[in-house]
Amino acid sequence: MPVGMGLEQALLVTVAFGPARRVVPRGAAQARDAAGGTARHPHEEEDSRREEFRELVTSAGAAVAAEVEQRRPKADPATLVGSGKVEELAGTAASAQADVAIFDHDLSPTQLRNLEDALPCRVIDRTQLILDIFARHARTREGQLQVELAQLEYMLPRLTGRGKAMSQLGGGIGTRGPGETQLETDRRRIQRRVQQLRGELEAVRRIRSQQRQRRESVPVPAVALVGYTNAGKSTLFNALAEIRGQTRATPVLESARMFATLDPKLSAIQLPSRRKVLLSDTVGFIRDLPHTLVTSFRATLEEVRKAEVLVHVRDASSAMRDEHKAEVEKVLVELEVFGRPRIEVLNKVDLLSEEERAALEANRQAVAISARQRVGLEALLERIDSELVQDPILEQRLRIPQSEGDALAALEAGAVIHERTYEGNLVSMTVAGSASLLGRYRRFRQKD
């Protein structure tokens, strides 16, 4: 979108499939609530999905000009919504002067072509919308390569009939990056570019693997933050790096916009046991995350696959937190890390009432925190400490000459000293530290 022009005007189209929604009388709803029922109203999930859809569109840089909803038994194979609804959409798009119609559903190549022929504006689906947001936020060369590959793989089966989207360079959501390719671009040319991108990403993956091998040569366990987009992972990453960071890491962008963090970030932090871990923050997940993105971003998500412990950050204030948890777990299954040790973290407890916070804190399976308010972080660090298996914590009795200043300084910095006494030139101490650290000073170990 050219600088200086207004926001693109978007017509939002949401489609739900299934039987008509049953309306609960007001009196019945009040009686159920008074009886203490906690079940969600049937329409709450759909309302949450619509709100999430609006946030996606806003994150893509568009303004909502109009919204159209439909519920139907099943998808129409030609247009998704049926011919009658297409006529309504055409009239709404024209009256709202919409630049683009965005469907909160994936469209087949045939549906996309038919809708573009019938509507007076461009048409994009949910996958294109998410890909566009990723294209906006890709800053590193690696991120840009991954987004381009995902966009081209999406575009390949949809080349026929993309006149409106491909007739000119630039110009809005769904046309950034490779979407700007001219109409005469043929399938073979795109396939060659896809192969080239895969080769470049494989080179990136090799470099990352080499960097990871160098890190792994020193036994520093890896811990990865995962979670639904906008759950507060970046805020938590910054908070932990601030209070326990071993390096002056550049803060990760904290934003209410979806997918504000795209490229992975790493920071070394120290746990209560004085053990060091490498913390990583990666892209957030979302409902119906396009498979092309999971595949294309495999190099970035490798940090998740190699982590010893996953910290699943959830938004405790969201009415959809259980559904979001299920969506994250689907991606973890796809990444083959579902069975990895995982810590459930309920973030944003500062947005809850005292009663709600008390209920969450009574759940010993999860750690309740507020990353923004720096509440509960020490408990989380202790939980991470207890979950790590690599480089375990050992307790030993050592006797070290005072002349061994380097050894004493290293133990002071990297281990917890429970007891220390002086016997002439010797320092006797009981220490708890990582096996790798204590192994370097085994010659000072006091025999029983």
User: Checking DSSP bridges between strand 426-434 and strand 393-401, what pairing results, if any?
Assistant: antiparallel
More confidently predicted of 265 and 74: 74
Q: Given its phi and psi angles, is residue 64 left (phi above 0), alpha (psi -120 to 50 degrees) or beta? A: beta
Tell me, what's the pLDDT at 256?
54
Is the CB of residue 266 less than 8 Å from the CB of residue 278? yes
- Overall average pLDDT of the 81-91 stretch: 97
**Domain positions in the chain:** 8-179, 219-387, 393-444
- Overall average pLDDT of the 356-370 stretch: 87
Place of tokens 């690696």: 142
More confidently predicted of 362 and 434: 434
Q: Which two tokens stand for residue 159?
A: 């080349």
Give me the amino acid identity at 129: L
pLDDT band of 4, cuts 50, 70, 90 = very low
Tell me, what's the pLDDT at 34?
47
Does the structural domain 8-179 have CATH classification 3.40.50.300? no
Q: What are the residues whose beta carbons fall under 8 Å from the beta carbon of 53, sequence distance 6 or more?
A: 12, 14, 104, 126
Q: Does residue 168 surpass a pLDDT of 50?
A: no
Q: Which two tokens stand for residue 20?
A: 């008509």
How does pLDDT run across 107-165, given as a tens digit for each residue?
999 999 999 999 999 999 999 999 898 888 777 788 888 889 888 988 888 775 454 55
How does pLDDT run across 300-329, given as a tens digit for each residue?
677 888 899 999 999 999 988 999 999 999
Q: Given its phi and psi angles, is residue 57 left (phi above 0), alpha (psi -120 to 50 degrees) or beta? A: alpha
Tell me, what's the pLDDT at 169?
45
Tell me, what's the pLDDT at 221?
87
Tell me, what's the pLDDT at 135?
85
Domains 8-179 and 219-387 share a fold: yes
What letters, b where the CB count within 10 A reaches 16 and e where it falls short, cover 74-112? ebbeebbbeeebbeebbebbeebebbbbbbbbebeeebb
Q: Does residue 201 surpass a pLDDT of 70?
A: yes
What does pLDDT average to over the chain? 83
Topology of domain 219-387, per CATH?
Rossmann fold (3.40.50)
Highest mean pLDDT (candidates 81-90, 221-230, 279-288): 81-90
pTM of the model: 0.79
More confidently predicted of 26 and 392: 392
Is the CB of residue 72 less than 8 Å from the CB of residue 15? yes
More confidently predicted of 34 and 50: 50
